Amino acid sequence: ETGVTQSPTHLIKTRGQQVTLRCSSQSGHNTVSWYQQALGQGPQFIFQYYREEENGRGNFPPRFSGLQFPNYSSELNVNALELDDSALYLCASSSPQRYGYTFGSGTRLTVV
Amino acid sequence: AQKVTQAQTEISVVEKEDVTLDCVYETRDTTYYLFWYKQPPSGELVFLIRRNSFDEQNEISGRYSWNFQKSTSSFNFTITASQVVDSAVYFCALSEARGGSNYKLTFGKGTLLTVNP
């Protein structure tokens, strides 16, 4: 089975710009979650999508938004980038029958 | 609110030593799941185990074993006869249970394990 694929792997943006990160879920997984991992920290939950609807959100401002598509791939959009948004962004997919989440290798975003 | 504490920031051992990674959690939920993930330098989080809050049986998988004690809200992870390939950051995580499925992982800050040859 295919794993979770994220693109791009690395990205450098300027403060104030907008960015879109992409995730292809593992085949058969209809739930996708996004996490932000700052350097030296554990991942922080951003939001989760189930069958194209957001069904949970962490403590992140509205400039963090997402989409899930009918093929269960997903996007994370961040507007008005700030320096503190520099982090590794991880996508994880799951299904109700799945024992745990499958994570991608992440996108490392640097905001300068 | 849920919280996971991994008090050990870094651990360094010599190959073949046994090592235990500690994890203490806080939750008001009666049903929840506990996880351990391994994060090698490549960045991907590798799933190691999920434990249901109602199942306090310890588990062993090869060189890995887990000790879940609900009375002390701890879910510790032991690697027996450590190997250099075990070097990574290890995260303990807690999730709510919604409809029998996982929801929203809360991670600890991780423990960096270095196994020296």
Query: What confidence tier does A17 reach under pLDDT thresholds 50, 70, 90?
Result: very high
Q: What is the pLDDT of residue A76?
A: 98
Which residues from chain A sit within 8 angstroms of residue B99, using beta carbons? 96
Q: Is the pLDDT of residue A102 over 70?
A: yes
- Kindly state the average pLDDT of the residues A13-22: 98
Q: What is the pLDDT of residue B100?
A: 58
Q: Is the pLDDT of residue B57 over 90?
A: no
- In chain A, whose CA is at the least distance from the CA of B48? A100
CA A15/CA A80 separation, integer angstroms: 7
∠ CA B95-A100-B82, nearest 5°, is 100
CA distances from B49 to B34, B35, B60 (A): 8, 5, 10
> In this predicted model, what pLDDT tens digit does every residue of B83-111 receive, in sequence order?
999 999 999 999 987 765 667 899 999 99
Query: What confidence tier does A99 reach under pLDDT thresholds 50, 70, 90?
Result: low
> In this predicted model, what pLDDT tens digit does every residue of A28-69 receive, in sequence order?
788 899 999 999 999 999 999 988 899 889 999 999 999 999
CA B69/CA A92 separation, integer angstroms: 28
Kindly give the pairing relationship between strand B88-98 and strand B101-107. Answer: antiparallel
Query: What confidence tier does B43 reach under pLDDT thresholds 50, 70, 90?
Result: confident
Q: What is the pLDDT of residue B1?
A: 83
Environment class of B99 (CB within 10 Å of its CB; exposed 0-12, middle 13-18, buried 19+): exposed
CA B61/CA B45 separation, integer angstroms: 18
Which residues from chain A sit within 8 angstroms of residue B100, using beta carbons? 96
Q: How far is B105 from chain A (nearest CA, A)?
A: 7
- Report chain B residues touching chain A, CB-CB < 8 A: 4, 35, 37, 42-47, 50, 91, 93, 99-110
Chain B CB within 8 Å of residue A42 CB: yes
What contacts A52, CB < 8 A, 6 or more positions away? A67, A68, A69, A70
SS3 A83: helix
Say whether A102 and B101 touch across the interface (CB within 8 A): no
CA distances from A88 to A41, A50, A64, B85 (A): 10, 22, 14, 23
SS (H, E, C) B55-113: CCCCEEECCEEEEEEHHHCEEEEEECCCCHHHCEEEEEEEEEEECCEEEEEEECCCEEE
CA A93/CA B3 separation, integer angstroms: 22
Lowest mean pLDDT among A47-51, A85-89, B10-14, B109-113: A47-51
Say whether B93 and A41 touch across the interface (CB within 8 A): no
Residues A58 and B106 sit within 8 Å (Cβ to Cβ) = no
Q: What is the pLDDT of residue A111?
A: 98
Q: What is the pLDDT of residue B113?
A: 98
Query: What confidence tier does A71 reach under pLDDT thresholds 50, 70, 90?
Result: confident
Best residue of B3, B25, B44 to probe chain A, by most A CBs closer than 10 Å: B44
> In this predicted model, what pLDDT tens digit does every residue of B18-27 receive, in sequence order?
999 999 999 9
